[in-house]
Amino acid sequence: MPERGPWSARTRVLPIAERLDADTRYAGRGVTIAFLDSGFYAHPDLTTPYNRISAYHDLFAPRAGLEALERSDASSWHGMMTSVVAAGNGALSAGQFRGLAWEANVVLVKVGGAHRIVHDDIRRGLEWVITNREKYGIRVLNISCGGDYEESFLTDPLSRAADEASRRGIVVVAAAGNAGHLVDHQVLPPASAPSVIAVGGLDDGGSGEQSLHYHSSYGLTLDGLQKPEIIAPAMWVAAPILPGTPTAVEARLLERLDDADDDELFELLAAHAGEDAELDAIAGRHEPYLVRQLVAAKLHDRKVLSGHYKHVDGTSFAAPIVSSVVAQMLEANPALRPHECRRILMTTARGTPGITLERQGWGVVQPRAAVEAARVMRRR
């Protein structure tokens, strides 16, 4: 990333591999991660230099093929970001913002829309993954969405489906939720199911140098289980901007303005006249520092990292980080079973002072230690 002037507000967010000291020799090779989410897009970080999307299934349009992923709408954002956070290769960032499982294959399952994902539709998506696990070699399932209500895993069909997936050899990872700032901060299905690895959040400042709690959901489930099991970065996570959207157009212009010399600023503004009323209004002032102040404010407000990435927050993005660690572990030791992956993640996690145990579970995920533990088990 180029050096920027004093007015720049583009945050220097480090890649997850650096923040968590991951072993970059492992990239989820030979492992397939499935994702349940509101929608998806065939982002270049997943499709270049070759397409790693093994399958796409839309619960509401079962005959839709991979070509449906070339079309974007509001529902495409969330699943595109979660899948790329875990398995993107950073194609649009020269490899800078790549996930830990950047060579894993992915299966994308649409279970909702931009504004709503229904409890029972998550169950239906889970059942599809179970049915097709052998066909696509699915070893990990990431669920960055939650159900509508609490219910015991003994009676809840969604929780029972999640536990069944684990019994069938799939490591199920789910976001704990973001209700930790509320009085009612319960963890909902499927994250509340016994075999599911529920992931809470950590605020590491984007550099891995601090450890503050994120407002993740936490606490005892109806069945008396303590959730989450582990935590991972849930703030300052680099994620892709949906190509072809007004957001992408704006981000690219802001990046170019931020990188431009003073004598280039007004040429760029003139070339993009009519795209942003606020920039148009200030362009006529011909005072570079005023333009840079406005650009800095917009970069900050839009959380823009570059013309192709922004930083996002939520346990929706902590969960795929853990899913990518599991893919690394399975590359190191393909024979690992779900309960063994779960145990390794928990026993190698690092407890963090200043965060209560009920919020962090066993602590912050430690990719390098987890992969090494997986390798040791393989040698036995």
pLDDT of the residue at 243: 95
Report cis status (omega within 30 of 0) of the bond before 190.
yes
Report whether pLDDT(356) > 70: yes
Report whether pLDDT(34) > 60: yes
Report whether pLDDT(11) > 80: no
* Residue type, position 84, single letter: V
Count CB atoms within 10 A of the CB of residue 246.
9
Question: What average pLDDT is seen over the chain?
Answer: 94
CA-to-CA distance for 125 and 144, rounded, in angstroms?
13
Q: Give the residue-averaged pLDDT of 32-55.
A: 98
Three-state SS sequence of 233-260: ECCCEEEECCCCCHHHHHHHHHHHHHHC
Largest CA distance in the chain: 71
Q: Give the residue-averaged pLDDT of 278-294.
A: 87
Split at pLDDT 50, 70, 90, the class of 9 is low
Domains of the chain: 17-239+312-379 (3.40.50.200), 246-307 (no CATH)
Q: Give the residue-averaged pLDDT of 313-337.
A: 98
Q: Give the residue-averaged pLDDT of 130-155.
A: 97
pLDDT of the residue at 3: 47
Helix, strand, or coil (residue 303): coil
Which carries the bigger pLDDT value, residue 339 or residue 287? 339
Report cis status (omega within 30 of 0) of the bond before 334.
no
pLDDT of the residue at 367: 98
Which carries the bigger pLDDT value, residue 2 or residue 120? 120
Residues annotated as part of the active site: 37, 78, 316
* Residue type, position 334, single letter: P
Q: Give the residue-averaged pLDDT of 56-71.
A: 95
pLDDT in tens, 156-177: 999 999 999 999 999 999 999 9
pLDDT of the residue at 80: 98
Split at pLDDT 50, 70, 90, the class of 261 is very high
Split at pLDDT 50, 70, 90, the class of 194 is very high
Q: How far, CA to CA in Å, does 280 sit from each of 3, 15, 275?
A: 26, 34, 8
Residue 231 corresponds to which tokens in the numbers above? 């935590």
Count CB atoms within 10 A of the CB of residue 248.
17
Helix, strand, or coil (residue 339): helix
User: Per DSSP, which regions of 282-380 are E strands?
Assistant: 309-312
Split at pLDDT 50, 70, 90, the class of 380 is low
Report whether pLDDT(183) > 90: no
Q: Around 135, how many Cα atoms within 13 Å sit in the side-chain half-sphere?
A: 10
Q: Which residues contact 237 (CB under 8 A, 6 or more apart)?
A: 13, 16, 85, 311, 312, 313, 317, 318, 321
Report whether pLDDT(127) > 70: yes
Report whether pLDDT(4) > 80: no
Q: How far, CA to CA in Å, does 56 sit from each of 65, 173, 343?
A: 7, 19, 31
